Chain A
């Protein structure tokens, strides 16, 4: 069993690992995921006692504390008990020795077997790793990067180590070879204590039973692999999943705002986090159990930015919204899909505080909100369906966008001017004098909607409710506005409730989809699941309608 306690590693004052606690049970495969520079490889090397930097804490393999061993004692256990499949890179293999010799070398060096036997074993593993036999006696430069990776994997297994560290084992392989190698790796690690270090989520999903997310030198989330990947609880894990191209989600890729900075105080992720509060800047969160998942987050993982509880609204005899509860999490896009008349707009207006519900409550984060307060409007903003109607024809562009600031009484004149221009620039509109002094009737539909969005953004809201924002736009303009909304969501970390009748649009931009029919939500789930595997007949019919549209475009049968 491998147990790591409070492992801290620094190089020349730069802290790479800042306190890692991990346990890998015998025979288990644990994956460490994270972007490059997170310290994944450093972790692997520190377990082998190969770091020259300042290393503190405890790494125990069985009863033995690796960090307290002398160099000679370390030498004895390296490749004997712990082996590592290094990531293939330029000059990873010694250019002047033959492949087979390099693979067999550890066996001979540790006296585990004779020369001939070692070579035999090396040849066997190289073969299993998929290297053509005629290449065994080649030199490294005669092999492709993928072949060198196979050599490195075979090499890591040659002495049958009790602990195996895999560092990006298949990242340099092409898709076909990956499949093949995955089979071999599965066999190789079964029953072996394995630490898999990778930025490739699919490798982790296929090989590891548990997964830990590493960020800024700390573990921010740890749990069973399938759970972590289907319902990530730390905002960073979700962001990683969101930016990983795969076949299960339909949504366009989104990055993570900002970049990793090792020098931040408090939670390392807070500058990029959408739900950061003051404590996140001051204190380092510890990895602790939140509803069965280990998460290092002051807020206990991803929390709802906004939630509605049992909202009901009737207009006379018509029950427009009939007991809707829904949750919009921080930094996510939730699409509310339904036909016209299903109560979507009513729901949106109640959530945004424009319309009072008959019964039911709206919560901001976890506290009940006062929907009349100015704070509420600073946090939640609405983008309307008809851009022309939503703007007063008497106000110029700049006046319209500035209006919320004036209503809220924010800043001095100059500051308002500055904020207004920034918001207009952010929605990719010109900020020259001519444009700013245009009246709405001179603008195109796309421009009008952008002005609307700028006006919603000028107060720096956390939640944006977009009610069919593209319904009045033709499709090429619609695509541009959707892209803009996604970029804004990524850059500002907005939580967005996107209301649409078009499920095709929903699946491209949303993390989750809620389907609404006759004032009720009939189905809700991750976008990929709702689109590929809907259970409610109404959702199925919506999808069918959408796909029928497709076959119509392609031509009549």
Chain B
């Protein structure tokens, strides 16, 4: 399978729209302080101000500027989405390919676990975990998470740049900028990021394992075995590079899922109340649905969330159809 994901995505109309939309959200997240005039948590004036020059979307029940909350909400969604995707894709790749290559008991045990998690009602599990696991991490844990994320992102940078070229830098670069800018969010979301990552890698592991298994049957890998190559070497030199496009697709869908779940949990009021997010905005606004405020409070937050998810979906399906040869060009001739 030789697919150039960057070309395929850039070629498709949906992929272009998706990339453009996501870019807007990303810019919003990165330049949040410049775009908004207020601290999203600071009580500025009175509650329930209607939109005016100073507050383009008015203020909420606590007198906070809604526009600022909307802009900073992009940070939370993208930070959680991207970091969970990074961590879970790495987990999926390591576990999926190792299961395929090592096989035997290890493979069977891992795959049963994967299947078990796939059929589990994740959201209720998350709720239960949130009850028992303190969402506010101590400073030690935060530093641990930062180091972990740093290592993983640098590794990913190397991999992406090597397998995708300059476009890899374009994908990873903004993530790094975002993580650095949003470091203050990590204490409030770090725990969530870790838990979501632990619950989101299974689907990816399954597809990657299947792909690795079919790659393993290819004769160039058998040939490498014949030259005495070990499992790690084969994984590094032959399997991982060939999995590139699939990894990117898995990454994109993980982002989507994590954004979804983060918003959902925030909507249920789970998580650090000091983290501004679109989900919690919708949750707050829902209480005041009989006031007109939902027009500039609830709807913008929901639309921003939906646009983000749609953008990611568009990119994802462009990738998916690029990867599925059946969905690409027509069969030319029947001979």
Do the two shown chains form a genuine complex with each other? yes
Residues of A within 8 A of B (CB): 11-12, 14, 16, 36-37, 39-42, 45, 51, 53
In the assembled complex, the Cα of A40 lies from the Cα of B333 at a distance in Å of 12
For B310-335 the 0/1 string (1 means CB < 8 A from A) is 00000000000000000000001111
Contacting residues of chain B (178-214) with chain A, CB-CB under 8 angstroms: none
Q: List 13 A-B contacts (CB under 8 A).
A: A11-B332, A14-B332, A14-B333, A16-B333, A16-B335, A36-B335, A37-B335, A39-B335, A41-B335, A42-B333, A42-B334, A42-B335, A45-B334
- Which listed residue (B332, B334, B335) contacts A12, Cβ 8 A? B332
| B-side contacts of A39, CB under 8 Å | 335
Known: A36-B335, A42-B334, A45-B334. 11 other contacts (CB 8 A): A11-B332, A11-B333, A14-B332, A14-B333, A16-B333, A16-B335, A37-B335, A39-B335, A40-B335, A41-B335, A42-B333
Q: Taking the nearest CB of chain B, how far is it from the CB of A358, in angstroms? A: 58
Chain A: CB-nearest residue to B329: A12
In the assembled complex, the Cα of A37 lies from the Cα of B335 at a distance in Å of 6
Chain B: CB-nearest residue to A39: B335
Q: Which 8 A-B pairs have the closest CB atoms?
A: A11-B333, A11-B332, A41-B335, A12-B332, A16-B333, A37-B335, A42-B335, A45-B334
Chain B: CB-nearest residue to A16: B333
In the assembled complex, the Cα of A36 lies from the Cα of B333 at a distance in Å of 13
| B-side contacts of A37, CB under 8 Å | 335
- Which among B332, B333, B334, B335 has the greatest number of chain A C-beta atoms within 10 A? B333
Number of interface residues of B (CB under 8 A): 4
In the assembled complex, the Cα of A45 lies from the Cα of B333 at a distance in Å of 11
In the assembled complex, the Cα of A53 lies from the Cα of B334 at a distance in Å of 10
Q: Would you call B332 and A41 a contact (CB within 8 A)?
A: no
In the assembled complex, the Cα of A42 lies from the Cα of B331 at a distance in Å of 13
| A-side contacts of B332, CB under 8 Å | 11-12, 14
| B-side contacts of A36, CB under 8 Å | 335
Q: Taking the nearest CB of chain B, how far is it from the CB of A218, in angstroms? A: 15
| B-side contacts of A14, CB under 8 Å | 332-333
In the assembled complex, the Cα of A51 lies from the Cα of B332 at a distance in Å of 11
In the assembled complex, the Cα of A91 lies from the Cα of B281 at a distance in Å of 53
Q: Taking the nearest CB of chain A, how far is it from the CB of B43, in angstroms? A: 64
In the assembled complex, the Cα of A433 lies from the Cα of B161 at a distance in Å of 47
Q: Taking the nearest CB of chain B, how far is it from the CB of A263, in angstroms? A: 14
Q: Taking the nearest CB of chain A, how far is it from the CB of B333, in angstroms? A: 4
In the assembled complex, the Cα of A16 lies from the Cα of B335 at a distance in Å of 9
Contacting residues of chain B (35-56) with chain A, CB-CB under 8 angstroms: none
Contacting residues of chain B (230-267) with chain A, CB-CB under 8 angstroms: none
Q: Would you call B333 and A53 a contact (CB within 8 A)?
A: yes
In the assembled complex, the Cα of A339 lies from the Cα of B332 at a distance in Å of 59
Q: Taking the nearest CB of chain B, how far is it from the CB of A435, in angstroms? A: 32
| B-side contacts of A40, CB under 8 Å | 335
| A-side contacts of B334, CB under 8 Å | 41-42, 45, 51
Chain B: CB-nearest residue to A53: B333
Q: Taking the nearest CB of chain A, how far is it from the CB of B252, in angstroms? A: 31
| B-side contacts of A51, CB under 8 Å | 334
In the assembled complex, the Cα of A43 lies from the Cα of B180 at a distance in Å of 64
| B-side contacts of A45, CB under 8 Å | 334
Q: Taking the nearest CB of chain A, how far is it from the CB of B322, in angstroms? A: 20
| A-side contacts of B333, CB under 8 Å | 11, 14, 16, 42, 53
In the assembled complex, the Cα of A12 lies from the Cα of B333 at a distance in Å of 9
Chain B: CB-nearest residue to A10: B333
In the assembled complex, the Cα of A36 lies from the Cα of B334 at a distance in Å of 11
In the assembled complex, the Cα of A53 lies from the Cα of B332 at a distance in Å of 8
In the assembled complex, the Cα of A14 lies from the Cα of B331 at a distance in Å of 13
Chain B: CB-nearest residue to A41: B335
Contacting residues of chain B (282-335) with chain A, CB-CB under 8 angstroms: 332-335
Q: Taking the nearest CB of chain B, how far is it from the CB of A259, in angstroms? A: 15
In the assembled complex, the Cα of A41 lies from the Cα of B334 at a distance in Å of 7
In the assembled complex, the Cα of A530 lies from the Cα of B335 at a distance in Å of 39
Chain B: CB-nearest residue to A44: B334
| A-side contacts of B335, CB under 8 Å | 16, 36-37, 39-42
Q: Taking the nearest CB of chain B, how far is it from the CB of A12, in angstroms? A: 6
In the assembled complex, the Cα of A14 lies from the Cα of B333 at a distance in Å of 9
| B-side contacts of A41, CB under 8 Å | 334-335
